[in-house]
A and B are shown apart, each in its own frame.
Chain A
Amino acid sequence: MVMAEGTAVLRQNRPGAKQYIQQNIRADCSNIDKILEPPEGQDEGVWNYEHLRQFCLELDGLAVKLQSECHPDTSHKTPKECPAIDYTRHTLDGAACFLNSSKYFPSRVSIKESSVAKLGSVCRRIYRIFSHAYFYHWQIFDDYENEIFLYHQFTKFVMKYNLMSKDNLIVPILEEVQNSGSGESEA
């Protein structure tokens, strides 16, 4: 019964979107364009949904790394940032419930229009996790990023599918992303 997850066992004619994404990531996680490019005939809503699930899944890993460092009692500049780790956890839990709920996403092969709109707000919240990590826990962010290029993927993803406006992308890490890059995140 030993089967590595996501190995190319194509029982159907086409692999599910999730398996496809995971295969591509596993193959080469720096090849972002390939990962983000949907196969032909793939419904875009479903594609976005599956990607977002994958991001949340991987972001759990970042959250774990952060939680070792980001305690409410460690030095933060202002009290406002203290609950950052709580925010991170809440966001990820909330995203998990939302993305998995049968109320909003009853089917994995087609997404309701109303739920598509909500994907954008999920992206915004997720982004805040990234930005907090970048500005306050740079080392962890950097290590994780070099490992799986998650932030790159995410930024390109939201820009490609217009899930967030460019003004919100404040992390100055990508050359393409022209932003003011000022100050503090809205954690």
Chain B
Amino acid sequence: MMEERAAAAVAAAASSCRPLGSGAGPGPTGAALVSAPAPGPGPAAKGGGGGGGSPGPAAGPEPLSLPGILHFIQHEWARFEAEKARWEAERAELQAQVAFLQGERKGQENLKTDLVRRIKMLEYALKQERAKYHKLKFGTDLNQGEKKPELSEPVSNGPVESVTLENSPLVWKEGRQLLRQYLEEVGYTDTILDMRSKRVRALLGRSLELNGAPEPSEGGPRAPPAPGGLSGGESLLVKQIEEQIKRNAAGKDGRERLGGSVLEQIPFLQHCEDDDSDEDDELDGAQHRKQRVKLPSKALAPETEDEDEEDDSEDAISEFDFLGSGEDGEGPPDPRRCATEGAHHELESRRVKLQGILADLRDVDGLPPKVTGPPPGTPQPRPHEDVFIMDTIGGGEVSLGDLADLTVTNDNDLSCDLSDSKDAFKKTWNPKFTLRSHYDGIRSLAFHHSQSALLTASEDGTLKLWNLQKAVTAKKNAALDVEPIHAFRASTPAPMGSQRLQVPVALYPSVLSHVLEGHGDAVWGLAFSPASQRLASCSADGSVRIWDPSSSSPTCLCTFSTASDHGTPTSVAFTSTEPAHIVASFRSGDTVLYDLEAGSALLTLDSRGNSGPTQINQVVSHPSQPLTITAHDDRGIRFLDNRTGKSVHSMVAHLDAVTCLAVDPNGVFLMSGSHDCSLRLWSLDNKTCVQEITAHRKKHEEAIHAVACHPSKALIASAGADALAKVFV
């Protein structure tokens, strides 16, 4: 059994080696190999080609060598890996292409709408001219009367026109009647009209399939109607664009939609210039139609819109037969052309203008939407662009979740797998404000529990309260300087020459009005539990104290002296599931759960890890699960179960010490900040990184000191050693 397998493996190896240097008869060699139970795999694999193969069968059954097998397996594996990498690259490439094409398509659709609008403008202009010409030629005043002079600037009225066009189809009825009259005058018999309408119907049916028009009148239905007098080049231009758009849409589901929408355009446009052939008479009618807003409404019984639309569209589309097949010399075109000789010059100039406009449009609108978010105030443009890109892609029509993930991948990040489950966590955070008013690094920050207010505490000895609501950003992603609405000056400003002052902030509903004396040294951490109205603090003097701040003279209710057991506590937090418990983390790497009612330590959580004790910089509690999360100096984050004390999960989170943590109040994600200047957001479901934001500059080897999540709004903030606080939405 083993030998058979080995033989097959060797045969495969030989066959794969064959292309490398195959010379002599691979066929018979291969066959011989397959049949021979065990040609020497070593020489067969290494020899390569027929040379290696030939000694094979000649050698007969030889013992398989392990190195040979290993070599083969390695070779195969390398091949698979290479292929896999190629596939990945290709996939990424294709996804990028998809995104690009979509953008392009969007751009082209915009272009098309613009073109259509401009065409309408030009048609209108053309009609103006024809009306004038007609008036001059025939000396009659065709119902427009005084309205003509007002419409001397058709181009500028274009956009207005398109609006008015949509608004009163009723008046088009009158126009159509008039046009029919004129057509008859000119020589369009009804028979011709009918014939044309039939042809157009056929064309309409065909154009729905989006194939190349089989008829010479292909230009008609495919292109939005161009003014009759314009040359085929005009509509060709538009036609090409249409085709391009349709081609782009062809591969996608929106194909019918697009085709339908194009055709929707066509009937609509037919309305606006209904039967816009080169007839002056028709022009007058059209003009008349266009002025409907000002004309007294005639008492025409409005027929059903749909019928007319179809008739009109067919009729109008039929006009384009002439455009496409002008050379064919159908009867009607000639008299038409003669009639419009005089007006042709203006049309020429207008056509040139249109082409110019089209060229401009293509330059401007044809580009896919690019990422143009301006970099926020801090000099870190590139990483913020990553954030922007994710936002753009995420908002695209097709969910490019994987592509979005690709932009955030960090080579060094061992455990930062990017979540595919965008459904679970769709939000990407973008910088909104930069709060610059502190002179020195900001050590701590806290959000107001209900309002959009943030409190920051800095080494310069001040606390500043910021109103985030008032600051309205003028443009998306612009970082705004928000003025603090109040600056509390600390009662003990940072004393110089001594240890740095840590001013942790836990925001009360009311402004702090007491000074809690009791700690003998710097206070490292504070935590407040609104449920039990208790404040917990930990200090470098080796104790954790509990206070009741709401009483008139707050005193220390309870003290846990930890210096002997665990060392200096660095951070405290109330466990959300159990308000009578607090969890404290230590410089020694321990995390201890304390019971406030019992007044003693309950459990020491296993946070030391395998690599030995490392200082824990912050500990937070999960809002709904009995889970404690710790941030370590060894760049890792650990998740610990409060009940068992065991580590549930442990991961390397950053490139430098993890300094701070914050959990969002719904327990969906975790935010971590580190001295590597990055802010990372982790999904708590699968413990993977969903976003990385580079924020803050390094100062004295330190970057981010604190992060916070707003308890009720979608705001997160980070505080840095560069004296800036940043708010993200």
Interface of A with B (CB < 8 Å)? Answer: 1-7, 9, 11, 19, 22, 25-26, 29, 53-54, 56-58, 60-61, 63-64, 67, 89, 92-93, 96-97, 99-103, 148
Interface residues of B, count at CB 8 A = 36
Interface of B with A (CB < 8 Å)? Answer: 377, 434, 436-441, 459-462, 481, 483-484, 487, 489-491, 493-494, 496-500, 615, 617, 633, 657, 659, 698, 700-702, 723
B462 touches A5 (CB 8 A): no
Task: Output the least CB separation between B14 and chain A (Å).
Answer: 60
Q: 27 interchain pairs (CB within 8 A)?
A: A1-B702, A2-B499, A3-B500, A3-B700, A3-B701, A4-B498, A5-B494, A9-B701, A11-B698, A25-B496, A26-B497, A53-B439, A56-B439, A64-B489, A67-B489, A92-B487, A93-B484, A96-B437, A96-B439, A96-B487, A97-B481, A97-B483, A99-B439, A100-B436, A100-B439, A100-B723, A148-B496
Task: Output the least CB separation between A63 and chain B (Å).
Answer: 6
Q: Report the separation of the CA atoms of residues A187 and B182 in the bound assembly, to the nearest whole angstrom.
A: 88
Closest to A63 in B: B489
Contact of B489 among A1, A22, A60, A148 (CB under 8 A): A60
B500 touches A5 (CB 8 A): yes
Measured between beta carbons, the chain A residues less than 8 angstroms from B441 are 5
A5 touches B489 (CB 8 A): no
Measured between beta carbons, the chain A residues less than 8 angstroms from B459 are 5
Task: Output the least CB separation between B655 and chain A (Å).
Answer: 15
A1 touches B437 (CB 8 A): no
A26 touches B461 (CB 8 A): no
A102 touches B499 (CB 8 A): no
A5 touches B440 (CB 8 A): yes
In the A-B complex, the 10 residue pairs with the smallest Cβ-Cβ separation, listed nearest first, are A61-B493, A64-B489, A100-B436, A57-B439, A5-B500, A57-B460, A96-B437, A26-B497, A100-B437, A102-B377
Contact of B615 among A1, A7, A57, A93 (CB under 8 A): A1
- Known A4-B499, A4-B500; judge A60-B436 contact (CB<8 A): no
Measured between beta carbons, the chain B residues less than 8 angstroms from A6 are 700
Known: A99-B439, A100-B723; 4 extra A-B contacts, CB below 8 A, are: A11-B700, A61-B461, A97-B483, A101-B436
Task: Output the least CB separation between B341 and chain A (Å).
Answer: 64
B615 touches A100 (CB 8 A): no
Contact of A89 among B438, B481, B487, B496 (CB under 8 A): B487
Task: Output the least CB separation between B644 and chain A (Å).
Answer: 29
Measured between beta carbons, the chain A residues less than 8 angstroms from B487 are 89, 92-93, 96
Task: Output the least CB separation between B207 and chain A (Å).
Answer: 57
Measured between beta carbons, the chain B residues less than 8 angstroms from A1 are 615, 617, 633, 657, 659, 702
How many A-B pairs fall under 8 Å by CB?
81
Measured between beta carbons, the chain B residues less than 8 angstroms from A97 are 437, 481, 483
Q: Report the separation of the CA atoms of residues A64 and B617 in the bound assembly, to the nearest whole angstrom.
A: 31
Task: Output the least CB separation between B471 and chain A (Å).
Answer: 13
Measured between beta carbons, the chain A residues less than 8 angstroms from B498 are 4
Interface centre among B459, B462, B633, by most A CB within 10 Å? B462
Q: Report the separation of the CA atoms of residues A139 and B657 in the bound assembly, to the nearest whole angstrom.
A: 46
A64 touches B460 (CB 8 A): no
Task: Output the least CB separation between B46 and chain A (Å).
Answer: 54
Interface centre among A3, A5, A60, by most B CB within 10 Å? A5
Q: Report the separation of the CA atoms of residues A63 and B461 in the bound assembly, to the nearest whole angstrom.
A: 12
Q: Report the separation of the CA atoms of residues A2 and B443 in the bound assembly, to the nearest whole angstrom.
A: 13
B481 touches A60 (CB 8 A): no
Closest to A100 in B: B436
Measured between beta carbons, the chain B residues less than 8 angstroms from A102 are 377, 434, 436, 481
B377 touches A60 (CB 8 A): no
- Known A3-B702, A9-B701; judge A64-B439 contact (CB<8 A): no
Task: Output the least CB separation between B489 and chain A (Å).
Answer: 4
Measured between beta carbons, the chain A residues less than 8 angstroms from B617 are 1
Task: Output the least CB separation between A34 and chain B (Å).
Answer: 15
Q: Report the separation of the CA atoms of residues A7 and B700 in the bound assembly, to the nearest whole angstrom.
A: 9
Measured between beta carbons, the chain A residues less than 8 angstroms from B633 are 1
Measured between beta carbons, the chain A residues less than 8 angstroms from B439 are 53-54, 56-57, 96, 99-100
Task: Output the least CB separation between A55 and chain B (Å).
Answer: 10
Q: Report the separation of the CA atoms of residues A102 and B487 in the bound assembly, to the nearest whole angstrom.
A: 19
Measured between beta carbons, the chain B residues less than 8 angstroms from A53 are 439
Contact of B460 among A26, A60, A63 (CB under 8 A): A60
Q: Report the separation of the CA atoms of residues A5 and B459 in the bound assembly, to the nearest whole angstrom.
A: 9
- Known A53-B439, A57-B440, A148-B496; judge A64-B491 contact (CB<8 A): yes
Closest to A16 in B: B699
Q: Report the separation of the CA atoms of residues A3 and B483 in the bound assembly, to the nearest whole angstrom.
A: 29
Q: Report the separation of the CA atoms of residues A93 and B439 in the bound assembly, to the nearest whole angstrom.
A: 11
Q: Report the separation of the CA atoms of residues A54 and B701 in the bound assembly, to the nearest whole angstrom.
A: 21
Q: Report the separation of the CA atoms of residues A96 and B462 in the bound assembly, to the nearest whole angstrom.
A: 11
Q: Report the separation of the CA atoms of residues A4 and B617 in the bound assembly, to the nearest whole angstrom.
A: 16
Contact of B461 among A19, A60, A89, A100 (CB under 8 A): A60
A57 touches B484 (CB 8 A): no
Measured between beta carbons, the chain B residues less than 8 angstroms from A56 are 439
Q: Report the separation of the CA atoms of residues A60 and B499 in the bound assembly, to the nearest whole angstrom.
A: 19
Measured between beta carbons, the chain B residues less than 8 angstroms from A57 are 439-440, 460-461
Measured between beta carbons, the chain B residues less than 8 angstroms from A7 are 700
A64 touches B437 (CB 8 A): no
Q: Report the separation of the CA atoms of residues A3 and B700 in the bound assembly, to the nearest whole angstrom.
A: 9
Q: Report the separation of the CA atoms of residues A7 and B491 in the bound assembly, to the nearest whole angstrom.
A: 24
Closest to A107 in B: B379
Task: Output the least CB separation between B633 and chain A (Å).
Answer: 7
Closest to A68 in B: B491
Measured between beta carbons, the chain A residues less than 8 angstroms from B702 are 1, 3
Measured between beta carbons, the chain A residues less than 8 angstroms from B489 are 60-61, 63-64, 67
A64 touches B490 (CB 8 A): yes
Task: Output the least CB separation between A42 and chain B (Å).
Answer: 18
Q: Report the separation of the CA atoms of residues A53 and B462 in the bound assembly, to the nearest whole angstrom.
A: 14
A9 touches B700 (CB 8 A): yes
Task: Output the least CB separation between A49 and chain B (Å).
Answer: 12
Q: Report the separation of the CA atoms of residues A103 and B434 in the bound assembly, to the nearest whole angstrom.
A: 13
Measured between beta carbons, the chain A residues less than 8 angstroms from B377 are 102
Q: Report the separation of the CA atoms of residues A1 and B700 in the bound assembly, to the nearest whole angstrom.
A: 11
Closest to A101 in B: B481
Task: Output the least CB separation between B512 and chain A (Å).
Answer: 14
Measured between beta carbons, the chain A residues less than 8 angstroms from B490 are 64
Measured between beta carbons, the chain B residues less than 8 angstroms from A96 are 437-439, 487
Q: Report the separation of the CA atoms of residues A148 and B500 in the bound assembly, to the nearest whole angstrom.
A: 17
Task: Output the least CB separation between A113 and chain B (Å).
Answer: 21
Measured between beta carbons, the chain A residues less than 8 angstroms from B496 are 22, 25-26, 29, 148
Closest to A55 in B: B439
Interface centre among B437, B462, B496, B659, by most A CB within 10 Å? B496
Closest to B568 in A: A2
Q: Report the separation of the CA atoms of residues A68 and B494 in the bound assembly, to the nearest whole angstrom.
A: 18
Task: Output the least CB separation between A51 and chain B (Å).
Answer: 12
Closest to A27 in B: B497
Measured between beta carbons, the chain B residues less than 8 angstroms from A3 are 500, 700-702
Measured between beta carbons, the chain B residues less than 8 angstroms from A63 are 489
Interface centre among B434, B440, B490, B698, by most A CB within 10 Å? B440
Q: Report the separation of the CA atoms of residues A162 and B236 in the bound assembly, to the nearest whole angstrom.
A: 73
Measured between beta carbons, the chain A residues less than 8 angstroms from B499 are 2, 4
